Amino acid sequence: MERLVVVGASLAGLRAVQSARRSGFTGRITLIGAEEHVPYDRPPLSKSFLDAGHDGSPPSFHSEDELRDGLGVELRLGAPATALDTAAREVRTADRAVPYDGLIIATGATPRALPGAGAIAGVHQLRTVEDAVAIRSALESGARTVVVGAGFIGSEVASAARKRGLPVTLVEASDLPLSAALGRDVGAVCADLHRAHGTDLRLGRTVTGIESNHGPVTGVRLDDGTVLSADLVVAGIGVTPATTWLGDSGLRLHEHDGGVLCDSTLWAGAPGVYAAGDVAHAVNPLFDDDLMRLEHWTTAAEQAAVAARHALDPATATPHAPVPYFWSDWYGHRIQFAGTARADEVRVISPAQQGLLVLYRRGDRLAGALTVDRPGDIMKFRRRIAGRDDWAEALAFARRRGAAED
């Protein structure tokens, strides 16, 4: 192993580089990134970066000098990968072929755009720092805001607009936010949070068109004929793994979203090739070998570190069995989740008024836990999920935490 190439200069890419150096790798590392920026932290872009008091600087992890001199990384930024030749062991960009002995695919995901939005000014997704700058600028101008999609990104943008006292309408196709992912009881709590903080929540509605006045957006048309006035529209309608460059690589891609299919070691099926982060569907032995693709900061960081170690020494690769974890901030409330919501039962242990605590059962085991405004609890439940805690024991533990069952 002399040459490690990491494609994707975001959190997962950075953690792969750091893991390789911590493991004692002294060979050549090349980091290829589609954006011109050094790796930066994406979660703040939909949170603190949009606040009035933020200074507007990108939340970068390291400078170019620190990456080059401190970690010995060859940077190829603003040069997206265009193809992968697994036989020749080369990653191709527009102007060159980069050879590798080990490869980490960490290209993340691309946000879905609203159909018909085209080049209408004032309509945005939120993935890059440029997206966040544009949205923040509109909020600073007092924009009437429409957010499409009441998932975590959309809800955080709505929260940021309301924090500034701006009118915001949140459009969601389902009858409750996040109910398909986390259960109807949690969806009802999420809806109540939005309404309690003055967000106009339009549930069970879809967007049929974007209206503009010779360029700038003026409104959003819904399927019931309503037109919502808007100066800013933000689409939070999901993402697609960034794998178009892998079309002729021979790697196995997921039939529905095109993500990279990996085994439990994060191996992508070709010699020396591993994947991590939003782009990867990985088998998780902790949850009955479920195939999981997770769009979470923690997952990206953990998988990338493991993938780098395995790429450097495949003979010692062992299954990676993490407990997924994520958090989100809405209207000053902290929502946290650990584990999986693919469950046989969803049990509300403590209602929202007492600090929401919800447990998820699969078979006779604790599979997941969600909390709102209970920061001292979630990591305790994460450890119990990792330890394959019995469901009855988990319920007893929750009650000992002082929560009266709803």
Q: Cβ(241)–Cβ(279) under 8 Å?
A: yes
What is the reported pLDDT for 376?
A: 87
Question: For residue 399, what pLDDT is reported?
Answer: 85
Strand ranges (DSSP E) for 163-206? 168-172, 200-203
31 DSSP 8-state letter: E
List, for residues 83-115, the tens digit of each pLDDT value: 999 999 999 999 999 999 999 999 999 999 998
- Rounded CA separation 273/307 (Å): 9
pLDDT score, position 118: 83
Output the pLDDT for position 157.
98
Q: Which among 108, 42, 61 is positioned nearest to 277, based on CA atoms?
A: 108
Q: Are residues 263 and 248 in contact, defined by beta-carbon separation less than 8 angstroms?
A: no
Q: Are 158 and 145 in contact (CB under 8 A)?
A: yes
For the entire predicted model, the pTM comes to 0.96
The DSSP output letter for 133 is H
Q: What is the pLDDT of residue 404?
A: 44
Would you state the structure tokens that stand for residue 377, as one six-digit string?
A: 């609890």
What's the confidence (pLDDT) of residue 59? 84
Give the distance from CA 216 to its chain's centroid: 29
Which residues of the chain fall short of a pLDDT of 70?
402-406
Q: So what's the pLDDT on residue 402? A: 57
- pLDDT given at position 271: 98
In the structure encoding, which two tokens stand for residue 191, read together?
A: 């809806």
CB-based contact 284:264 (threshold 8 Å): yes
